């Protein structure tokens, strides 16, 4: 990657999201084996109408040293070969290589700094067979993200707005019900459900447009629709059974500061842990109501709905809850959507918010008083 090209791309990424956010994802993608970065399935209509625009986005990725696996034909098999030729022409021979859809061939291409281009155009087995083959490739490669690039950026109900996230663990029946989505998007969602069931490791799937591809890959908010399976949340009623080292590492990574010694010896009512310690919520006892001491999601898991999964599990047990957050904490805007009310306070001269759910008006001063008297959590 050239220095000037890399700087250009990072400036672009900074313009669509927080610079630290873009760098975080870039570091994550570069830390993986190159073939695991992403499979990008391109719809025939995108190749027909926007191949050059997509090629620009893909060249940005190449400048960053990232080679996505390009796939065509799972949705529309008839024109897959013609679409592959058109896309290869737009990309140029230096950054593309036609590949059989096998893990070994794709791995060799990615490790040779080429973008492998695979077609899934077989008619036997129909759409189920093609999507199964796509899922099998993702499983063999260890792919972490599958992106469907379509003309529209996301899945959109008729007459409604684009859906930002669909959790197929809790919302599957609702979104796959007749009429929930127009016919073609619903067919795609059914196949995404099939893929997620077939791939043995954690995989997130996005539906976005060619012009939003980088925003979807490099920002927490994304651009389009994220489709996922919900996290497995485990509740512990104390510190027993908790890997305290992993929990501490998660919290310190999330907040960017070291916890004080002995934090994990403080009393707790419950600790909620998302699978593989991708997120956690720590609820402590307080005279007024349960106090949310820490709510942390790993940096690489933000934007994947892990926080929402944790919150649902926690609020089911604790409908009355209060907590505090630094005024400059990026998650504060999300907290506003979860709380019944909030009040601004000063802690050691710095602005904070006290937030609550389920508290009576007369209890709010007591919640503020408790938050002001808390000992520091971080060194």
CATH code where residue 28 lies = 3.40.1160.10
Flag whether 132 is in a domain.
yes
In this structure, are 287 and 222 located in the same domain?
no
In this structure, are 253 and 136 located in the same domain?
no
Flag whether 238 is in a domain.
yes
In this structure, are 221 and 79 located in the same domain?
yes
Report pLDDT for 59: 86
In this structure, are 172 and 94 located in the same domain?
yes
Flag whether 302 is in a domain.
yes
Among 313, 306, 261, 262, which Cα is nearest to 292's?
Answer: 313
Residue pair 74/131 in contact by the 8 Å Cβ criterion:
yes
pLDDT less than 50: residues of the chain = 1-3
In this structure, are 13 and 55 located in the same domain?
yes
In this structure, are 16 and 163 located in the same domain?
yes
Report pLDDT for 15: 63
Flag whether 378 is in a domain.
no
Q: How far apart are CA 311 and CA 113, in angstroms?
A: 41
Of 180, 211, 228, which one is at a domain's C-terminal end? 228
| Domain range for 95 | 3-228
Flag whether 105 is in a domain.
yes
Residue pair 278/231 in contact by the 8 Å Cβ criterion:
yes
Flag whether 338 is in a domain.
yes
In this structure, are 82 and 187 located in the same domain?
yes
Q: Which two tokens stand for residue 137?
A: 């490739």
Residue pair 142/201 in contact by the 8 Å Cβ criterion:
yes
In this structure, are 292 and 277 located in the same domain?
yes
Flag whether 194 is in a domain.
yes
Of 228, 244, 272, which one is at a domain's C-terminal end? 228
CATH number at residue 245: 3.40.630.30
In this structure, are 166 and 239 located in the same domain?
no
Task: Classify 315 as helix, strand or coil.
Answer: helix
What angle (nearest 5°) sits at the alpha carbon of residue 186, between those of residues 181 and 190? 145
What tens digit of pLDDT does each residue of 96-115 get?
888 887 899 999 988 888 89
Q: CB within 8 A of 27, min separation 6: which ones?
A: none
Report pLDDT for 7: 65
Report pLDDT for 18: 65
In this structure, are 317 and 334 located in the same domain?
yes
Flag whether 379 is in a domain.
no
Report pLDDT for 11: 64
Q: What pTM was estimated for this model as a whole?
A: 0.82
Q: CB within 8 A of 133, min separation 6: which ones?
A: 74, 101, 120, 122
Domain count of the fold of the chain: 2
Among 224, 229, 265, 231, which Cα is nearest to 248's?
Answer: 265
Q: CB within 8 A of 142, min separation 6: which ones?
A: 33, 35, 36, 201
Of 198, 228, 258, which one is at a domain's C-terminal end? 228
In this structure, are 73 and 153 located in the same domain?
yes
Q: Which two tokens stand for residue 305?
A: 């709905």
Q: Which two tokens stand for residue 244?
A: 């305290």
What tens digit of pLDDT does each residue of 223-258 get?
899 999 988 899 999 999 999 999 999 999 989 899
In this structure, are 190 and 243 located in the same domain?
no
Report pLDDT for 157: 93
């Amino acid at each position: 990657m050239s220095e000037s090209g890399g700087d250009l791309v990072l400036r672009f990424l900074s313009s669509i999201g927080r610079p630290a956010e873009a760098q975080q994802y870039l570091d994550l993608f570069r830390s993986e084996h190159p073939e695991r970065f992403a499979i990008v399935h391109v719809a025939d209509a995108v190749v027909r109408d926007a191949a050059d625009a997509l090629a620009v986005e893909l060249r940005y990725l190449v400048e960053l040293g990232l080679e996505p696996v390009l796939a065509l034909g799972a949705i529309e098999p008839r024109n897959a070969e013609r679409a592959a030729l058109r896309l290869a022409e737009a990309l140029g021979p230096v950054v593309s290589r036609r590949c059989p859809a096998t893990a070994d061939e794709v791995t060799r291409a990615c490790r040779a700094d080429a973008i492998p281009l695979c077609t899934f155009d077989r008619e036997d087995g129909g759409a189920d067979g093609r999507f199964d083959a796509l899922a099998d490739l993702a499983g063999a490669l260890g792919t972490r993200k599958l992106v469907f690039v379509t003309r529209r950026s996301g899945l959109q109900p008729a007459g409604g707005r684009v859906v930002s996230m669909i959790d197929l663990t809790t919302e599957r029946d609702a979104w796959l019900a007749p009429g929930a989505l127009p016919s073609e998007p619903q067919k795609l969602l059914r196949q995404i459900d099939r893929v997620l069931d077939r791939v043995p490791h954690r995989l997130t799937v996005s539906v976005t447009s060619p012009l939003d591809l980088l925003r979807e890959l490099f920002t927490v908010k994304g651009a389009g629709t994220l489709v996922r399976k919900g996290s497995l949340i485990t509740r512990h009623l104390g510190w027993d059974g908790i890997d305290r080292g992993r929990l501490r590492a998660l919290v310190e990574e999330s907040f960017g500061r070291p916890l004080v010694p002995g934090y994990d010896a403080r009393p707790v009512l419950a600790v909620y842990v998302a699978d593989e310690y991708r997120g956690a919520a720590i609820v402590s006892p307080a005279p007024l109501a349960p106090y949310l001491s820490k709510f942390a999601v790993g940096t690489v898991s933000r934007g994947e709905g892990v926080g929402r999964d944790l919150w649902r599990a926690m609020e089911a047990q604790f409908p009355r809850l209060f907590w505090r957050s630094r005024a400059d904490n990026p998650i504060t805007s999300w907290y506003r959507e979860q709380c019944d009310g909030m009040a601004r306070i000063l802690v050691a001269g710095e602005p904070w918010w006290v937030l609550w759910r389920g508290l009576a008006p007369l209890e709010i001063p007591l919640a503020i008083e408790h938050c002001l008297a808390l000992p520091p959590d971080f060194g």
